[in-house]
Chain A
Amino acid sequence: MIDPFIQAALLMTTPILLAAIGGLVNRIGGLVNIGLESMMLAGALVAVEVSAATGSVIAALAAAALIGGLIGLSMSLVVTRLQANEIIVGLGFSVAVAGLVRFVLKSAYGVSGTFNPPGVAMLPRINIPFVSDIPVLGAILSGQDGLTWFAWAMVPATAFLLHRTRAGLRLRATGAAEATVRAVGLSPLSIRDASTVFAGAMAGLAGAHLSIGVVGLFNEGITGGRGFIALAAFYFGRSAPWRTALGALLFGLFDAAQIRLQGHGAPAELVQMLPYLIVIIVLTGLGLADRSRVSERALS
């Protein structure tokens, strides 16, 4: 009874987690990425196209990461080189890429909304013998796809890279003290661009997970605002990898619960809005905590 739900929740966590880690790295590098949704959408479409054309999952994932990275790069260049506001540019990319994707569907494949080519190779699920028979633990560890393992492996990897390596230090400095980075002869703008390319590639993989990991086709609504949920996850996690993963897991649970509720006539829309509401509550709590810290300092 609980096992299918755990499976579903973990499955829905993966795309949110992938995009959230990308967005987290991007934010630490000094750019709040509102365009994750657009990179996810493009990744989902390209993964289906390449998977159907080549039958290779690896090629599909590479193509999805590539298109996400390319969109990330173009978005980043507008922000860093033309000094455009990242929020507006991100929203602009969400509008333009959604339009472009639908335009391509209609004019290249003659379909509107759903693209379901024959021969889409799906991400294989990894079944672990013996473990799969254990209740709960089996549902958690066995039967997941490679991207889910990758997403969770990226959590400690990101924490390590950010805090224990030179590249991580440079990235953190780019976000926190741009002038310092310039003073030691590095280009903060290029570092920031690289972090956006990374975020785009991760969001592209997130899209690929939705299309060739979950449903096996492309639909224009496939991302369903998950790029913005990913944004909510790294705001929830205050840009710390493990806290962000916790947020992604929480929102994945909501997503799975919401899909369940739809079948029972329960108000799925109200569950859908929970992640957004939680972010506002978390931000309010942080604001209150900041204020009391400031007033304590003023008193002492």
Chain B
Amino acid sequence: MGVAMLPALSRAAGVAAPFALAVVIGAIVLAATGHEPLGVYGLMASEAFGGERRIAATLTAATPLLLTGLAAAVAFRSGIFNVGAEGCFYLGGMVAAVLGFALGDWPSVLLIPVALVGAAIVGGLWLVGPGVLRARLGVDEVVTTLMLNFIAVDLTSWLVNGPLLARGSANSATAPIAVGAELPRLLPPTTLHLGFVISLALVALYGLWSRFTVAGFRSRIVGLNARFSRAVGIHVSSTFLRMMVLSGLIGGLAGGIHALGLVHRFVAGFSPGYGFTGIAIALLGRNSALGIILAAIVFGALSSAGATMQLFSDVPIEIVEIMQGAVMIFAVAKFGFGQARGARA
């Protein structure tokens, strides 16, 4: 029993260390600019978790991150370095918003699923290219998916400034979606919406899939050792392609839920980097379902606290970005024991 606790403890430390370092870096930045770090962190904690409404705001902010984190995790565990969830998020959001407006006279029970499935499909299709290139030609998927993000942002921003610009609207946005396309609110005065439950359920489903199904096991083995997998007869390149597309489907769905649940239209600058934060979440959560949920709530808390903190103090909201970046940097760093492989030359 005692021995079994050890890896669990070191795993917990591995998750806590990046976050603790980010807190320290944030404190240094705050102190250097004449703010009182403890006071600011206290305010952040109460803004994120103090009371039902604040918790609801944190969970709302965590909703897109649950799915972008899941999108990253699905790819990472199979050894695919997909950094393209951001692009899928943009395209999924745009497709759901357009369908939610164009099919506005459909009943909700039909309209919402159709819009979300449409968003997911477009996200999946978007990554077929990098998936095939990696599986068939061995083209580095990091570069292709990174480049596709910029293409998606430019493409959608062209569409909302041109062909899809809402009539009479000066800013870059589509028309608002029909009321029937909006995801129901869970705690009416707050913005927490059904998308949170859907996202949570999908992450839980992923937990079960990765633990208890053959496909889940196979995809992990491919990620751990592709040559071994090939030797035991697993079709590695088709697993790569499947997991890449699955990751894109989830990324697109994330954007669709964000459009139908919160924004209710598509605007230029639709995502403040949810796809990239999702990468940090998957890494911090070590690709496990529980880890993704916890990490998404932590990042959700950071951004919901940052958004309101500016109203009550003179601390710029960007402190949150600094901390998010720091978590990302240290989430992949190996501390202490691990480096006995002669890497220190």
Q: Interface residues, chain A, CB within 8 Å of chain B? A: 32, 34, 78, 81-85, 87-89, 91-100, 102-104, 106-108, 181-182, 186-189, 225, 228, 231-232, 235, 267, 269-270, 272-273, 276-277, 279-280, 283-284, 286-288, 290-291
B137 within 8 A of A: yes
> Which of A83, A284, A291 is B343 in contact with, Cβ under 8 Å?
A83
Docked complex Cα distance between A221 and B337 (Å): 41
**19 A-B contact pairs sorted by A residue (CB < 8 Å):** A83-B339, A85-B332, A87-B142, A91-B83, A91-B276, A92-B329, A93-B329, A94-B325, A95-B273, A96-B325, A99-B320, A100-B29, A107-B35, A107-B314, A188-B345, A231-B143, A273-B150, A273-B151, A287-B133
- In the assembled complex, the Cα of A100 lies from the Cα of B330 at a distance in Å of 17
Give the residues in chain A near B344, CB-CB below 8 Å.
81, 189
CB-CB under 8 A from B331, the residues of chain A are: 88, 92
Query: Min CB distance, B310 to chain A, in Å?
Result: 10
A284 to B81, CA, bound (A): 17
The answer to whether B144 has its CB under 8 Å from any CB of chain A is yes
Give complex CA distance A106, B146 in Å: 30
B293 within 8 A of A: no
- Which residues of B lie under 8 Å from residue A279 when comparing CB positions? 143, 147
B139 at interface by CB-CB < 8 Å:
yes
Task: Report the Cα distance A196→B38, complex, angstroms.
Answer: 35
Nearest residue, chain A, Cβ from B316: A106
Contacts of B319 in A (CB 8 A): 99, 103
Interface size of B in residues (CB-CB distance below 8 Å) = 58
B151 and A277 within 8 A (CB): yes
The answer for the CA separation of A267 and B333 in the assembled complex, in Å, is 42
Most chain B beta-carbon contacts within 10 A, residue among A32, A92, A232, A272: A92
Q: Top 5 closest A-B pairs, CB basis?
A: A96-B325, A99-B321, A287-B137, A92-B328, A95-B325
Least CB distance from B282 to A in Å reads: 10
Q: Which residues of B contact A288 (CB under 8 A)?
A: 137
Contact of A283 among B144, B315, B321 (CB under 8 A): B144
Whether the pair A96, B321 counts as a contact (CB closer than 8 A) is: yes
* Count of chain A to chain B residue pairs whose CB atoms are closer than 8 Å in the complex: 157
| Interface SS, B side | helix
Chain A residue at minimum C-beta to C-beta distance from B268: A269
Q: Which residues of B contact A81 (CB under 8 A)?
A: 344
A283 touches B157 (CB 8 A): no
B138 touches A97 (CB 8 A): no
Rounded to whole angstroms, the CA-CA distance of A25 and B223 in the bound complex is 30
Bound Cα distance A83, B16 (Å) = 18
**What's the nearest-Cβ distance from chain A to residue B144, in Å?**
5
Which residues of the other chain, B, contact A181 by a CB distance below 8 angstroms? 345
Query: In whole angstroms, how far apart are the Cα atoms of A7 and B321 in the complex?
Result: 37
How far, in angstroms, from A235 to B140 measured CA to CA in the complex? Answer: 11
Give the residue name and chain of the A residue nearest to B134 (CB): A287
A293 to chain B, nearest CB (A): 12
Query: Knowing that A87-B83, A92-B326, A187-B345 are A-B contacts, what are 8 other residue pairs whose CB atoms are under 8 Å apart, sorted by A's residue number?
Result: A83-B333, A83-B334, A94-B325, A95-B321, A98-B325, A99-B318, A103-B319, A267-B158
**A269 touching B29 by the CB < 8 A rule?**
no
| Contacting residue for B140 out of A99, A100, A187, A283, CB 8 A | A283
**B103 interfacial contact with A, CB 8 Å:** no
Chain B residue contacts of A34, Cβ below 8 A: 146
Decide yes or no whether B203 CB sits under 8 A from chain A: no
In the complex, which residues of chain B have a beta carbon less than 8 angstroms from the beta carbon of A287?
133, 136-139
Residues of A within 8 A of B114 (CB): none
Give CA–CA (A228, B150) in the complex, Å: 9
| Bound CA–CA A286/B146 (angstroms) | 18
**In the complex, A231 Cα to B83 Cα: how many Å?**
15
Distance (whole angstroms) from the CB of B334 to the closest CB of chain A: 5
Q: Is B279 an interface residue (CB 8 A)?
A: yes
| A83 in contact with B33 (CB, 8 Å) | no
Instruction: Report yes or no: B276 in contact with A108, Cβ–Cβ below 8 A.
Output: no
Residue numbers in B under 8 Å from A286 (CB-CB): 139
**Could you mark each residue 129-162 of chain B with 1 if its beta carbon is under 8 Å from any beta carbon of chain A, else 0?**
1000100111110111011101100110110011
A272–B331 CA distance with the chains assembled, in angstroms = 32
- Rounded to whole angstroms, the CA-CA distance of A267 and B324 in the bound complex is 34
Report chain A residues within 8 Å CB of B34. 107
Per the bound structure, the CA–CA distance linking A96 and B151 in Å amounts to 23
Max chain A Cβ within 10 angstroms of own Cβ: one of B34, B144, B314, B325 = B325
A270 to B159, CA, bound (A): 10
Q: B328: which of A83, A88, A280 is its contact (CB, 8 Å)?
A: A88
When distances are taken between beta carbons in the complex, the residues of chain B under 8 Å from A103 are: 29, 33, 316, 318-319, 321-322
- A98: which B residues are within 8 A, CB to CB? 321, 325
Residue in B151, B276, B331, B333 with the greatest tally of chain A CB atoms within 10 Å = B333
Considering the complex, give the chain A residue whose CB is closest to the CB of B154.
A273
A residues less than 8 Å from B312 (CB atoms): none
Q: How far is it, in angstroms, between the C-alpha of A273 and the C-alpha of B280 when the chains are bound?
A: 26
